Every structure is written in C-alpha cells, then in structure tokens.
Amino acid sequence: MNPSPTVIDLLIEARWVVPVEPHAVVLDDHAVAIHEGNIVAIVPISEARTLYTPRERVELAEHALIPGLINAHTHNPMTLMRGLADDLPLMTWLQQHIWPAEGRVMGPEFIRDGVELAVAEMIRGGTTCANENYFFPDVIASTYQSMGFRAVVGLPVIEFPSPWAKTRDEYFARAEQVHHDLKGDSLITTSFVPHAPYTVSDESFERIREQSAQWDIPVHLHTHETAQEVEESIRDHGMRPLERLQRLGIINERLIAVHMTQLTDGEIAMCAAAGVSVVHCPESNLKLASGFCPAEKLRAAGVNVAIGTDGCASNNDLDMFGEMRTAALLAKAVASDAAAFDAAFALRAATLNGAMAMGLGDRVGSIEVGKRADLAAIRLDDLETQPLYHVASQLVYSTGRHQVSDVWIDGKRKLAGNVLVDVDVDGIRAKARRWRDIIAAGDVQ
C-alpha cells in the first residue's frame, strides 16, 4: 500500500532545473518541492506528483528554474542617482558630483526611496539577494525587511563625517547597535563596509579586524579599483593597498574585496591562500575606465569570484543577466582565452559564489535540499533565445532580464507572471521623479 502524499506549501514544476550545485548540471522536467520556505526535494515531475500534495502548484513548461541571482556588491540608495554624472573618471565622478549630491540629499527618506526602487528592479531581473554598501544601514535594513528581500547590510566606516555619523567612535557605536538590532533576522545579516583603503585609517581597520572576528561577519571593501589608488598608497604608505591590509590583518576568509582591477600574480596567490572572495563588477569598471579585473586568473588560482553590479550611479542598472554576460566576455578577452570563465561558471559566480562570499552559502545560492527557496524562473521560449541547445549558455549569453517571469524569496512569491507582488509601482515611480527634480535642481554639471 502506497503512503499518502505529503502535503507541502508549493511545488514548482519546470522544464529545466539548474541547481548550480552540482556544478554545470541541468535537470530536465524536474520539480522543486518547498515547505515553510525550505527546499525539501528536487525530483522528476512524475515522481513529485505522487509524493506531494501541494497547496500551490506552479507549472513552468518552457522555463529554466535557477537559484535567485545574488548581487554581491551594490549601493542601492544610489539608484536615485542613475545617470546623474555619466562619462567621467572615478575620482572626478566621486569628488565633484556624487559626494556633493549625497551631501545635499542623504537622509532616511532618500535611503528608503532608493532602496525601494532598487528592490523592485532587482526582483524583476531575477535577483533575490544583495550585498549592500551605504549609509543609514538601519533604514536600509528596515526597507529590505518591509519588502521581504534578502540582504547583507553594510555597517559603514569612513574617516570623514557624514549624515550617518560624525566621528570614528560614532561609526563604530552605531555599527554595533545596528548589528545587535538585526541579530537573528531571517533575511538580513550584516557586514562591515569600510569604504576603501584610501578613506579608512589603520586604527579603524584594526578595530574592524577585531570586531568582524568577534561577530563573525564579512568585511566588504573597495580595493585595488584603479591604478591611481595603488600609486597613492605607495606614496602615502610605502606599499600597495593589499600589502597594507595584510599587515593590518584584514586579508582573511572574511574579506570581500571589490573591483580588484590592479593585481599582481603574487597578490592573486595571497588572496587564494587566505580565502579572500573577490567581487567582479565589470560594467562599472568599464564605464569608469578603472581597469580590468583578472577574473579568470583569480578563478584558476582558486579564489572565490562573485559578480556585482555596483551602484546605478556608475553602471547604470542592476541587471545581473547583463553583468554575467559582460563578466564572461570580458574575462575571455583579458585572458586571451575563449574557454575562460565559461557559462556554467558565470552562473555560479552570480549565485552560489556570491552567497559564499557573504556568509550565506549554507542558506541560498543553489537549489539544494535544506536551503531556503530563493528562486527565479526564466522563460526560454522567446524568439531571442531560440533555438535552444545548451541551457546555461542561453542563460548567460542570450537571455534578457525581461524573460524573468516568476521569483520567490524564502518561499514567498515576489514576482508572478512578470508582475511584482505587493509592490506599489506607481508610488515608487513618483518618488523617483520627485528625487530627480530635487537632485537636478542642485546639480552643477
């Protein structure tokens, strides 16, 4: 006598399931069973229908089901500065346009509205988790919580005053309070986000080293972004930034090093040995002419390489499908090797590797039993993705984010048939236009 089917919350049946782990595997005609936000089984559809009675069944006849994409480096409140100061080099862009604009508008309302806009854009593009790096982490966290979005929220440290904190001691005190308040949250965790080696002192880095070890949280840091940064570090400290960070004890398995366009082979080996994760932001680096991250060399050395968009002020979007494609193509050109950074690895870099960098590898980033159900469904029957020979290649080299049809975070539906769930799209649009008027009125381009 056959046992009765198990009642579960959700059964998603897909033409293809791309779990990411095991690597480069594509499962034909499989279903993912989900209960209380957990993935409880990945089995053929015919078997799933005998094993489970779902409260909700979703049939995806022409779709690939993938882990939700993970944006491993972004400044989401800056979505409200999209297109503000284009076609400028990094330091001119920062010092003459972005920092002055932030000084005029930065505050809780600006932060909240920017994150709301970013979350709506990310969900529509299949992204379910972000590694956030900006001021007012308390407001950022509460906005992510209200929208049901997963994130690692950065605790900022920088040597000059901001609307968030005025002194070094205040930055650390407020960081401790936010970290404490978020402890145990199901969707939000924290990291330290010292801005960059050129804006953070040795004393602050030493305190970050101690606190990040005590709290067991990552350190999320821009570094080796430009040749100018490296030259100025040699001038001011007598050494390159990574050497300085190593002497300060920051080079370890908790470090998320972002950009990394200026690297020697010795520095790559050091990062590999220490367990450093590197976030490749190809489109931002290209747009700001910052340089080329040697992503394939890092991958070959065993470094955990993830992908991020950076903020919309320097990208100008949060499109992880576009970022995957650019990362793969650029890596091939930089390595002079057409086989470099292949499609399966690009998808892994945009999912599981990001989760591992952020300390979430045991929760999300792949479709595995026991993990939380952060998932995205992508239609592959559009003309732009026909004919279809290899699913992973099509996802990386042909697919556009408009093909994302459905998204779940923690087992909850966030996008249904291309429509955002419980999101006030008109309200978000109106707020964005209001901030455009405010910012443009004070801009001096």
pLDDT digits (tens, 9 = 90+) for 391-433: 999 999 999 999 999 999 999 999 999 999 999 999 999 999 9
Query: Residue 90: its pLDDT value, please?
Result: 81
Secondary structure of residue 411 in the 3-state scheme: coil
Please identify which residue in the block is written with the tokens 């799209």. 425
Query: Residue 1: its pLDDT value, please?
Result: 52
Q: Is the pLDDT of residue 2 over 70?
A: no
What confidence tens digit (pLDDT) does each residue in 70-109 have? 999 999 999 999 999 999 888 898 899 998 999 899 999 9
Q: For residue 192, count CB atoms less than 10 angstroms from its CB and return exposed for 0-12, middle for 13-18, buried for 19 or more.
A: buried
Q: Is the pLDDT of residue 120 over 90?
A: yes
Backbone angles phi, psi at 165, to 5 degrees: -155, 150
Secondary structure of residue 308 in the 3-state scheme: coil
More confident residue, 129 or 100: 129
Residue 333, CB-side half-sphere exposure with 13 Å CA sphere: 10
Long-range contact set of residues 379-386: C-beta below 8 Å, sequence gap at least 24:
379/62, 379/63, 379/403, 379/404, 379/405, 380/15, 380/16, 380/62, 380/63, 380/64, 381/62
pTM score: 0.97
Query: Residue 382: its pLDDT value, please?
Result: 96
When pLDDT is averaged across residues 51-64 and rounded to a whole number, the result is: 98
Helix axes 137-147, 168-182, angle to 10 degrees: 20
Tell me the percentage of the chain whose pLDDT exceeds 90. 95
Respond yes or no on whether the N-terminal peptide bond of residue 77 is cis (omega within 30° of 0): no
Q: Is the pLDDT of residue 333 over 80?
A: yes
Report d(CA 162, CA 201) in Å as an integer.
16
The pLDDT confidence band at residue 444, using thresholds 50, 70 and 90, is very low
Cβ 399 vs Cβ 321: under 8 Å: yes
Both structure tokens of 218: 């990552």
When pLDDT is averaged across residues 367-384 and rounded to a whole number, the result is: 98
Report d(CA 180, CA 172) in Å as an integer.
12
When pLDDT is averaged across residues 133-151 and rounded to a whole number, the result is: 98
When pLDDT is averaged across residues 149-154 and rounded to a whole number, the result is: 98
Rounded to the nearest 10°, the torsion over CA 36, 190, 345, 370 is -20
Dihedral angle sign, alpha carbons of residues 392, 394, 398, 399 = negative
Cβ 330 vs Cβ 286: under 8 Å: yes
The pLDDT confidence band at residue 357, using thresholds 50, 70 and 90, is very high
Strand-pair partners of 52: 6
Report d(CA 268, CA 266) in Å as an integer.
5
What confidence tens digit (pLDDT) does each residue in 204-237 have? 999 999 999 999 999 999 999 999 999 999 999 9
Secondary structure of residue 260 in the 3-state scheme: coil
Distances (CA, A) of 360 to 84, 152, 189, 335, 352: 33, 9, 9, 30, 9
Tell me the percentage of the chain whose pLDDT exceeds 70. 99
Helix axes 108-124, 425-442, angle to 10 degrees: 130
Q: Is the pLDDT of residue 156 over 60?
A: yes
Q: How many CB atoms lie within 10 A of CB 210?
A: 11
Cβ 337 vs Cβ 382: under 8 Å: no
What confidence tens digit (pLDDT) does each residue in 269-328 have? 999 999 999 999 999 999 999 999 999 999 999 999 999 999 999 999 999 999 999 999
Report d(CA 27, CA 407) in Å as an integer.
19
Domain ranges for the chain, please list them.
Answer: 6-67+374-410, 69-355
* Average pLDDT of the chain to the nearest whole number: 97
User: What topology is assigned to 6-67+374-410 in CATH?
Assistant: Urease, subunit C; domain 1 (2.30.40)
| Nearest CA-CA partner of 352 in 133, 69, 148, 150 | 69
Report d(CA 165, CA 177) in Å as an integer.
13
The pLDDT confidence band at residue 255, using thresholds 50, 70 and 90, is very high
Query: Residue 89: its pLDDT value, please?
Result: 85
User: What topology is assigned to 69-355 in CATH?
Assistant: TIM Barrel (3.20.20)
What confidence tens digit (pLDDT) does each residue in 171-182 have? 999 999 999 999
End-to-end Cα separation, the chain, in angstroms: 76
